[in-house]
Structure 1
Amino acid sequence: MLTLISPAKSLDLESPTPRNQPTEPRLLDETAKLAEIMSGKSVADLRKLMGVSEEIATLNVERYRDFQPGTPETARPAGVTFDGAVYRGMDPQSFDTRDWTEAQKSLRILSGLYGVLRPLDRIQPYRLEMGTALRTHRGNTLVSWWGDQLRDLVSADLQESPGPKVIVNLASAEYFQAVAGIDAKIISPRFESRDRQGRWKVISFTAKTARGLMAGWMIRNRVRTVKALTDFHEGWEYCDEVSSSDIPVFRKFD
């Protein structure tokens, strides 16, 4: 079983890192090419390309200009560097060494800059979302830049992962499109909360946190079957009556 999650825009560059041996991202040649393209962008370019403030654009212009090929000593494991709702839900700082070993086998982070990351792969600070309309000689999107590379690497990792050869998709649609068409059974959990009108809906922030909670729960409990996913609680309840074989639905009743 292989779980896919998205990265985060916000980064944590100060928290402790795991005692486990860090690893190197496996598509660094492609990453270096992208970083070189991005290093030629101005603050105005990044504001337009990313739809961000001048402050964020300036920060990322500096990051790309300082970006080093390979993995310098200042690089940090991806699993403790991303810091959005998914990662706060997953709570990797609570992982012990065995949990990190499990995560390295069974969790992958899809990345606009690095392609596919294992949790212990060391990364430099960056911002580059998969949905960015970056024009290159390969096309007008990052999905076209990566082509089949991410799908092929995820497929290979799936074959080496523990348990059945099933992908648990906890990534956003923006990121999962980079591996669309992969030849594997895909389970896409759905997390619903009541809106102000009392209707069951996917509410973005709450769902992101839930995806992280499930990812962390799967790692800590060494989940090896699709059926075991229905045992996930963490404040959520599996609802069989609205679920399908590929989309288990979990609802938050409090």
Structure 2
Amino acid sequence: MKIIISPAKSLDFQRETPHKESSNPIFLNDAEDLIKELKKLSPEEIGTLMGISHKLSEMNFYRYQSWNKDLEENTRQAIFAFDGDVYKGLNAYSFNKDDIGFAQNHLRILSGLYGVLKPLDRIKPYRLEMGIKLKNKEGNNLYDYWKDIITNYMNKEFEHEQEKVLINLASEEYSKVLNGNCLNKDIKVVSPIFKEYKNKSYKIIAVYAKKARGLMSSYIIKNKIDNLNGIKRFDLDGYVFREDLSLGNQIIFTRN
């Protein structure tokens, strides 16, 4: 069983990490090819491409210009580098050594720059969302660039897995990079959905759903869950599995 989550725009490269072990991104050369395209852009062009402020455009311009494949300088393990709502729910700083080992084997972070990251893969500060329409050698956007690479990678990840279940805890922006037509048919993709009771009905509220994806990832990792039935027992922060609302590959969790 594997879990996929999204990265985060906000980063933390200051806080001391509790674990020193690290690994290297598998698609570092592919990331370098994207950086070459990004280095051609001015701060103004970056701002227009990404829809971000002048201050953020300049910051990312200098990030791209200084980026290289040297993983010894200005890098941090991905699971401790990202700092958004998903990662607050994940709370990797609470992981012990066994948790980190389980995460390294089962958790994958999809990335617009690095393609796929294991938790301990060292990364440099960057901003490149999967939905960005960056022209590259494969097409006009990052889906064209990463679709086949990431799908083939996930197929290989499941070659020796007994439980061929992919728990999709990534946002739609990232998860749709997987090419369903080319993903092996024996891989079952399951997407947990988190809903809140509001105004007499259950609704998805983005900020809560993001944190819940991190909470479920943490729950799976800390309890060493490797099957779908175990995931349905997820009960953190008041969530409960709702078989009556679940349909197909979507399993619904609600809280009042």
Q: 2: distance between equivalents of 1:103 and 1:177?
A: 22
**2:212 equivalent among 206, 210, 230:** 210
For residue 167 of structure 2, give the secondary structure of its aligned residue in structure 1: strand
> Contact 2:5/2:170 (CA < 8 Å) preserved in 1?
yes
Structure 2 length-normalised TM: 0.94
Amino acid at match of 1:186: V
Is 1:194 matched up with 2:193?
A: no
Structure 1 length-normalised TM: 0.95
> Contact 1:8/1:84 (CA < 8 Å) preserved in 2?
yes
> Contact 2:148/2:179 (CA < 8 Å) preserved in 1?
no
**1:185 equivalent among 178, 188, 193:** 188
Q: How many residues align?
A: 251
Q: 1: distance between equivalents of 2:62 and 2:80?
A: 22
Q: Who is 2:29 aligned against?
A: 29
| CA drift at 1:48 | 0.7
Matches within 5 A, 1:77-226: 77-161=77-161, 164-181=163-180, 182-183=183-184, 184-195=187-198, 197-226=199-228
Q: 1: distance between equivalents of 2:233 and 2:141?
A: 38
User: Relative to 1, partners in 2 of residues 1:20 and 1:74: Cα closer, same or farther, differing over 3 Å?
Assistant: same
Amino acid at match of 2:121: D
Q: 2: distance between equivalents of 1:21 and 1:176?
A: 28
Name the structure with the higher strand share. Answer: 2
| 1:152-182 Cα distance to aligned partner (Å, 9 max, x none) | 1122223345x51110000011101111312
Matches within 5 A, 1:13-92: 13-92=13-92
Q: 2: distance between equivalents of 1:87 and 1:159?
A: 28
> Contact 1:116/1:154 (CA < 8 Å) preserved in 2?
no
Q: 1: distance between equivalents of 2:245 and 2:176?
A: 25
> Contact 2:241/2:253 (CA < 8 Å) preserved in 1?
yes
> Contact 1:194/1:201 (CA < 8 Å) preserved in 2?
yes
Q: Which stretches in structure 1 are left out of the alignment for 5+ residues?
A: none
| 1:82-141 Cα distance to aligned partner (Å, 9 max, x none) | 000000000000001111100000000000000000000000000000000111232111
Q: 2: distance between equivalents of 1:23 and 1:126?
A: 18
